[in-house]
Structure formats: C-alpha cells, structure tokens
Amino acid sequence: MKKFNVAILGATGAVGREMMKILEERDFPLASLKLLASARSAGKTLPFKGEEIVIEEATPAAFEGCDIVLGAAENDVAMELLPHAVKAGAVVIDNSSAYRLDPDVPLVVPEINPEDVKWHKGIIANPNCTTIITVTAVGGIHKLSPVKKMVASSYQAVSGAGVGGMRELEAQMKALSAGEPVVCETFPYQIAYNLIPQIGGFNAEGYSSEEMKLQNEGRKILHADDLRVTCTCVRVPVMRSHSVSVSLETERELSLEEIREAIAAAPGCKLVDDPANKQYPMPLDTSDQDLVYVGRIRKDLASDNGGIALWCCGDQIRKGAATNAVQIAELVAAL
C-alpha cells in the first residue's frame, strides 16, 4: 500500500489536534506527519503514535515533499499559505471557508458526493460543520426525492469557536459558582446560562455568515442549485456536538416509514427515533464519535406539501471537521 507524507496546517488548534487523533484511529497510510503552526508554537511538540513530533513554523517552503495537506487554519492563513502547498505538488484539504464556494474547488462530504473529489485542481474544501451534520442527516432523504426547501435552526456548541470557546464556558461556570465576575473574550456576551443568536457577521438581509453557509454550501454538496434554505444559528452553552432542527420539503411526498428506512440505511447516520421511550439524539450521546444521530422524525404540520421535521446531532469537531477531512484524504489516497 502506498504511504503518504501528510502535513497539518494549524496543528495546535482544536481541529488540528483532532485530525492527528483521527489519522491514528483510522490508521491512515502515513509515510510521515508534519505539524505546522505559528512561529510561537514552533519547537514545541505534540504526541502521535507514542512519539513526540516537533511543531514547525508554517511558511511557504514548509510544504516541500508533502503529498497531502490538511488545513485547519483561519481563512487568511489558508489563503496565504495553501497555494504554496499546491505549487509544491500537494493535494490540499482545507477546513476554512476560504475556498468552499470557489467553482473550481470541490466541496465534499464523502457520504454524499465522494465523486466530486475526482475533479479537484489541487484544493478540496471541507464544508462548514453545521452543513456537514445537516446534509449527512438529510442525504438519504434527498436520494429518495430531492429536497426543495429547508428551514433549519442550529444549536451550536462552544467548541465550534475552538479551544477558546471551551475554556471560556468552563471559566465562566467556575466564576459564577464562586460568585465572581465573568470574563467575555471569545464570545461577545456571557455564554454560561445563556444563548447567543449570532455566529458570524450579519449581511444586509439580517442573516449571519454562518446561516448563509447552509444554503450556499448545501446547494453545492447536494448538487441542488434551486435548494432554498432559511437558517437561524445559535451558540448554546454545550461543550461539544452541534444540534440542528430541520423542517424540509421534497419534490415527492414521502411517508415516515420511507424516511426512517432511508436514514437508517444512509452512510454516516444512526437512526435514534423512539420518542415514546425517550430515545432521541442529544449532544452528550453524539460527542467524540463520527455518526450523525437523527430522530424526532414527524410530519411538518405547517407544510402544505408533505413536509418533514427532524432533529439531528453530530460532533462538529470530528465529523463536522477533522473526520470529514481525513475521509476526504482517504478518497484522495484511493485515486
């Protein structure tokens, strides 16, 4: 089996560290692993397969000899450095939003559109975490009958904002328990015991950048140019795993039995839909694993076209980011 020289750009962040974990768990065929981060992290080490790997500074020359680069850095870093990785001959799988809507860049969820990997020109984009979780949940339904319309509300864990988000929730909980003032750095308001209905900046129509990703990215992944989506994204005081409430309409009216069977058979999904016995998806159950749990499946009472309502949860650090990227790398390795 061929082995690959892999680099992780942004290796010290929450997603970068998770990528290391997933590479080891899935036994990706590695010849070598290079960890790249900012100059302040260079020289430090991170454990991998019983060894300590020295972190190197991310520079344009750092990608020489790399076959695959997993990007886990912010947009500005991705746009500055990843073209150098492509010039060096690597295939880039980027978790930032920098290239997701570029028509020359595939946007891939391996359970939904793995074939799109084949037309890459050096960069493959990893979708937004909420988009990945949602399209994985509805992918089986979309195959039965194309989804025309989707109304979604996301309940997004603080880890979606990185390590800083998790630390801030922990610190605020401790401070409140001790009767001390809370400090807000990662989020604009106190997140402990609170909800913040803003993730990203707002556009002229009043939608946040996070909310528009589900429509724009969902269309590209599902190959559904006419898909209509309205979305509300909310940050919640949950440590890990995003949840999404989805109401959708399909071209053909589907029975609940058809939908449950499709979700149960869909790759990457687990049907958890027994409300009579209090069985439904929850963040605690879906954290630190890769399946998207789907439940609370029922007819949408507000729809005139046989709409369906459902609830899904998935670990946004793993399937919503790191695992999806490594799965794409596996597709690249198989080309």
Q: CATH no. for residue 170?
A: 3.30.360.10
**Do residues 160 and 304 share a domain?**
yes
Domain count across the chain: 2
Q: Are residues 100 and 178 in the same domain?
A: no
Q: In angstroms, what CA-CA distances link 313 with 84, 94, 195, 261?
A: 36, 23, 18, 18
297 and 194 in one domain?
yes
Q: Which residues pair with 70 in a beta bridge?
A: 8, 93
What's the CATH number where 50 sits? 3.40.50.720
Same domain, 149 and 266: yes
Domain that holds residue 282: 131-316
The residues carrying an active-site annotation are 129, 242
* Nearest to 292, CA basis, from 135, 161, 128, 147: 135
Do 326 and 310 share a structural domain?
no
Residue 75's H or E segment, with its range, is: helix 75-87
pLDDT at 225 over 90: yes
**pLDDT tens digits for range 159-211:** 999 889 999 999 999 999 999 999 999 999 999 999 999 999 999 999 999 99
Percent of the chain with pLDDT over 70: 100
Name the pTM for this structure.
0.95
Q: How far out from the chain centre does Cα 113 lie? A: 15
Q: Are residues 173 and 86 in the same domain?
A: no
pLDDT digits (tens, 9 = 90+) for 230-261: 999 999 999 999 999 999 999 999 999 999 99
Residues 143 and 121 in one domain: no
- Counting every residue written for the chain, the total comes to 335
Q: Do 274 and 310 lie in a common domain?
A: yes
Answer yes or no: are the C-beta atoms of 246 and 312 closer than 8 Å: yes
Q: What is the pLDDT of residues 267-290, one digit of tens each?
A: 999 999 999 999 999 999 999 999
Give 100's contacts (C-beta < 8 A, 6+ positions apart).
107, 125, 127, 128, 213, 216, 217, 220
pLDDT in tens, 54-68: 999 999 999 999 999
Looking at the structure, tell me whether residues 229 and 252 fall in a common domain. Answer: yes
pLDDT over 90 at 305, yes or no:
no
* Position 1 confidence tier, pLDDT thresholds 50, 70, 90: confident
